[in-house]
């Protein structure tokens, strides 16, 4: 029994050993294989991790290198922009300082001359008065007695018949001669003078002698309307006039007078005179002045000046240029022998003058010595060259739709209070740094309005290259009539010096009204709307003086921006149609657009520039050509859409595009844009980059885009500014630029 137990135990042990060996081996093998696989997987993972770590290290190094390169580029660009900004700022500060130094020197010199002139005038008046009293005394009696003989000798060389004298003799009217002396005239001297006159006339004359103590000494002969004055009183008055016109006469005025008197009494004055017959409303009629010229300047008593307008058989009609309260009937009028002239020259830059070129800004006398006739022939065709250089206004709607070139005449027309003057002033402001001298002629404007414009121009630094000619609403009609011609004379002088000039006439409607008033007072026959028949010639001879001269004539230019006011938008009225036919295009401002918030309120359909397209920058012409068509289509569809609400997608898209373009072309005052800014914004609108924007965000998008373009693509902006046409690569670069900006715009 015990043996069998041992046997069973051994059998069980053998079976257990077999099972353990059989299955344990398999488990161990599986365990080993599993560990081996885990080790292999771990090795593979470690290898992949190493590769990833190496790739990450390389990527980090690339990122670090790229970041360093970008940082260096940003720093370099920032340094360049900073240096450029500092350079521009320093240059601007230097220009401003130089302008202020120049103005200070001019003001100081003007003040010095004004003070010295007042002192000199006071001393001159005293010396003139004392000289007159001294010459009347007994000490100079012998010298006074010798004067008639010297006068007779000078008269033999000077006496001559005028055309009017010969005409009277042909008509059988005869001549009248009057010899006047300060004392009783020696009969022998009187007989010799009479014989001389009759020998020159070839016939007998009505001869008369008179005595006038105010002459002090010497003789005065009047033959017809011509006066030969050898009296001491005339010599003293002439010395006073010479003293006023000269800047420096030396230290001793008494010596100056003595020297002049010694030379003057041997040279009698010769001039034609007339007498005022009637006077009313700035117009006077004068008897005499038989040989006067049309447009000649006349000298009245008290220094008042006038200009001849009408010449009749026995009388002359003249307009009075200034205050005429002290003028009276019977006053003497004297010919000057010169047509109406005004001061001109670069010395007028920064000044405000009246219609005769006299300073009214309180900054002292003008320093120029140059003068130019207010009326002069316009340059001929041979002296001109085509308009090829643009005159940028800085206003998107104008530079894109109705471009203006240097030498062009572009009319600004519209109703009252539609922004006509604002366009002109913004154009003047945009000429800063463009080598253009601006002249603003205010015709019939209120003093407060002109003062506000001048203050704004000074604030923005535009008066450093501008001249303002102001004929106020309170001035008489002759001053309003002459003012634009005064401005044109100033601009012409600079143009013939090779300068580029922009002149604004604000406005010619008031100018035409002033001329109508003068013409009716001169009894000229009224025509259409009571304007005289030559009102067209009035403006044509003014505006034709704007030109672009060829290189043989200096290469200068004068661009004219006349302004005309309409009534209820009627551009078919008399004066608007006249000026439209004279100019090279017009910018029509519509009251409805203005009231709806579109500023500037330019009507794209009625506005046109006939010659400015040749001067438009090529990039602007490249992208703005379809702008007018899109705006016109929008205007037509907008009026059509008011009568229906079911619109197809194409119509809705066209209306949406038109609204974006209209919003884009809006522009605030005193906010000019460069050519590159305008081109980039118009290109973005044409390509549809603004179609999905809210209309109210268009100005923000435009501002951001143009700033981004200057920061990221300065070379492209410079290419646009140079006037070059963009190639396909540059257009592609511009598209990428806009797309990149739009990604970040919200």
Per-residue DSSP letters for 272-297?
A: EEEEEEEEETTEEEEEE-TTPPTTEE
The lowest-confidence range among 30-39, 438-447, 662-671 is 30-39
Secondary structure (DSSP) of 657-682:
HHHHHHHHT---TT----HHHHHHHH
Tell me if residue 418 falls in helix, strand or coil: coil
C-beta atoms surrounding 588 within 10 Å: 24
Q: Give the H or E element holding residue 566.
A: none
| Start-to-end C-alpha separation, the chain | 103
The winner for highest mean pLDDT among 72-76, 81-85, 156-160, 429-433 is 429-433
Residues known to be catalytic: 610
Given this model, what pLDDT does residue 116 score? 42
Kindly tell me the burial class for residue 318, based on how many C-beta atoms sit within 10 Å of its own C-beta (0-12, 13-18, 19 or more): buried
Q: What pLDDT, in 10s, does the model give residues 691-726? A: 889 999 999 999 999 999 999 999 999 999 998 899
- pLDDT tens by residue, 251-267: 455 566 556 555 555 67
pLDDT at 121: 47
Give the tokens for residue 20. 């353990």
- Predicted confidence (pLDDT) at residue 270 exceeds the cutoff of 60: yes
* Contact yes or no for 413/582 (Cβ under 8 A): no
* Mean pLDDT, residues 69-86 taken together: 55
Check residue 120 and give its pLDDT: 45
pLDDT of residue 306: 93
Confidence check: pLDDT of 132 > 80: no
Q: Does pLDDT of 66 surpass 80?
A: no
742 has pLDDT over 60: yes
Please state, in angstroms and rounded to a whole number, the distance separating the CA atoms of residues 261 and 241.
13
**Over residues 434-460, mean pLDDT:** 95
* pLDDT surpassing 60 at residue 107: no
In what helix (H) or strand (E) does residue 498 lie, and over which residues does it extend?
none
- What is the token pair recorded at 302? 């008290």
Of 308-317, 435-444, 651-660, 730-739, the one with minimum mean pLDDT is 651-660
Q: What is the pLDDT of residue 567?
A: 93
**Closest by CA position to 484, among listed 497, 472, 469:** 469
pLDDT at 636: 79
* Mean pLDDT to the nearest integer, 21-41: 58
**Whole-number mean pLDDT of the chain?**
83
pLDDT at residue 640 in the model: 72
Closest CA to 199 of 164, 161, 249: 161
The rounded distance, in Å, linking the Cα atoms of 535 and 527 is 10
CA proximity to 282, closest of 300, 296, 264, 269: 300
Mean pLDDT to the nearest integer, 652-669: 90
Give the CA radius of gyration of the chain. 44
CA gap 197, 219 in Å, rounded: 15
Is the Cβ–Cβ distance between 673 and 618 less than 8 Å?
no
Nearest-5° Cα angle at 740, 739 to 741? 90
For residue 334, pLDDT beyond 50: yes
Distance of CA 59 to the CA centre of its chain: 61
* CA neighbor of 310 nearest in space, from 335, 285, 328: 285
Is residue 602 helix, strand or coil?
strand
**What is the H or E stretch that residue 222 is in?**
strand 219-223
For residue 726, give the DSSP letter.
P
Pairing of strands 296-300, 269-280: unpaired
Average of per-residue pLDDT across 513-530: 93
This model's pTM is above 0.85: no
Residue 11 has pLDDT above 90, yes or no: no
- d(C-alpha 127, C-alpha 118), whole Å: 14
Q: How far is CA 209 from CA 183, 185, 220, 232, 233, in A?
A: 11, 8, 10, 18, 18
Instruction: Give the per-residue pLDDT at 117.
Output: 46
Alpha carbon distance 447, 432 (integer Å): 25
Confidence of residue 393 (pLDDT cuts 50, 70, 90): very high
């Amino acid at each position: 029994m015990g043996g069998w137990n041992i046997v069973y135990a051994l059998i069980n042990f053998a079976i257990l050993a077999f099972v353990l060996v059989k299955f344990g081996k398999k488990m161990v093998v599986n365990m080993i294989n599993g560990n081996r696989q885990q080790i292999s997987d771990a090795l593979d993972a470690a290898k992949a991790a190493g590769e990833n770590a190496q790739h990450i290290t390389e990527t980090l190094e690339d990122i670090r290198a790229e970041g360093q390169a970008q940082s260096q580029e940003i720093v370099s660009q920032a340094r360049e922009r900073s240096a450029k900004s500092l350079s521009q700022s320093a240059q601007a500060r230097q220009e401003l300082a130089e302008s202020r130094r120049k103005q200070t020197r001019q003001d100081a010199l003007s003040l010095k001359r004004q003070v010295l002139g007042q002192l000199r005038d006071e001393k001159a008046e005293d010396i003139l008065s004392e000289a007159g009293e001294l010459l009347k005394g007994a000490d100079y009696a012998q010298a006074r007695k010798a004067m008639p003989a010297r006068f007779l000798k000078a008269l033999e060389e000077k006496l001559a018949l005028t055309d009017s004298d010969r005409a009277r003799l042909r008509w059988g009217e005869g001549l009248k001669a009057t010899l006047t002396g300060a004392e009783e005239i020696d009969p022998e001297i009187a007989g010799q003078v009479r014989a001389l006159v009759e020998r020159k006339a070839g016939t007998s004359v009505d001869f008369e002698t008179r005595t006038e103590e105010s002459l002090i000494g010497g003789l005065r002969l009047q033959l017809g309307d011509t006066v030969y004055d050898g009296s001491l009183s005339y010599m003293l008055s002439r010395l006073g006039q010479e003293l006023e016109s000269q800047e420096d006469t030396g230290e001793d005025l008494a010596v100056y007078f003595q020297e002049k008197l010694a030379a003057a009494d041997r040279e009698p004055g010769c001039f034609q005179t007339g007498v005022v017959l009637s006077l009313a409303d700035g117009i006077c009629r004068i008897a005499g002045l038989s040989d006067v010229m049309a447009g000649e300047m006349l000298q009245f008593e008290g220094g008042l000046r006038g200009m001849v307008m009408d010449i009749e058989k026995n009388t002359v009609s003249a307009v009075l240029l200034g205050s005429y309260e002290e003028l009276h009937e019977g006053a003497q009028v004297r010919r000057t022998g010169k047509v109406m002239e005004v001061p001109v020259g670069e010395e007028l830059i920064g000044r405000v003058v009246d219609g005769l070129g006299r300073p009214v800004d309180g900054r002292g006398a003008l320093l120029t010595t140059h003068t130019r006739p207010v009326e002069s022939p316009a340059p001929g065709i041979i002296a001109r060259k085509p308009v090829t250089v643009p005159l940028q206004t800085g206003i998107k709607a104008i530079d894109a739709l109705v471009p203006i070139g240097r030498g062009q005449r572009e009319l600004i027309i519209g109703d009252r209070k539609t922004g006509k003057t604002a366009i002109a002033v913004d154009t003047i402001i945009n000429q800063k740094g463009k080598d253009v001298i601006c002249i603003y002629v205010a015709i019939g404007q209120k003093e407060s309005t002109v003062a506000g414009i001048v203050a704004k121009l000074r604030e923005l630094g535009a008066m450093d290259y501008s001249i303002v000619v102001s004929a106020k609403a309170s001035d008489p009609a002759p001053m309003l009539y002459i003012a634009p011609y005064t401005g044109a004379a100033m601009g012409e002088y600079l143009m013939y010096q090779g300068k580029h000039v922009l002149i604004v006439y604000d406005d010619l409607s008031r100018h035409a009204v002033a001329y109508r008033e003068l013409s009716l007072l001169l009894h000229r026959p009224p025509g259409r709307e009571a304007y005289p028949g030559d009102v067209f010639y009035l403006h044509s001879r003014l505006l034709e003086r704007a030109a672009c001269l060829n290189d043989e004539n200096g290469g200068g230019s004068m661009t004219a921006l006349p302004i005309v006011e309409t009534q209820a938008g009627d551009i078919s009225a008399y004066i608007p149609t006249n000026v439209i036919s004279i100019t090279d295009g017009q910018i029509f401002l519509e009251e409805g657009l203005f009231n709806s918030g579109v500023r500037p309120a330019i009507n794209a359909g009625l506005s046109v520039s006939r010659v400015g397209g040749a001067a438009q920058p090529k990039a602007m012409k490249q992208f703005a050509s379809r702008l007018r068509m899109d705006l016109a289509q929008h205007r037509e569809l907008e009026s059509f859409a008011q009568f229906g609400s079911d619109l197809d997608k194409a119509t809705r898209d066209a209306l949406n595009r038109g609204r974006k373009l209209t919003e884009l072309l809006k522009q605030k005052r005193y906010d000019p844009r460069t050519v590159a800014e305008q081109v980039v914004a118009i290109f973005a609108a044409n390509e549809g980059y603004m179609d999905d924007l809210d209309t109210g965000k268009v100005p923000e998008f435009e501002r951001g885009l143009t700033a981004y373009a200057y920061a990221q693509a300065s070379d492209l902006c410079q290419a646009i500014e140079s006037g070059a046409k963009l190639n396909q690569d540059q257009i592609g670069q511009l598209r990428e630029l806009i797309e990149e900006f739009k990604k970040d715009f919200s």
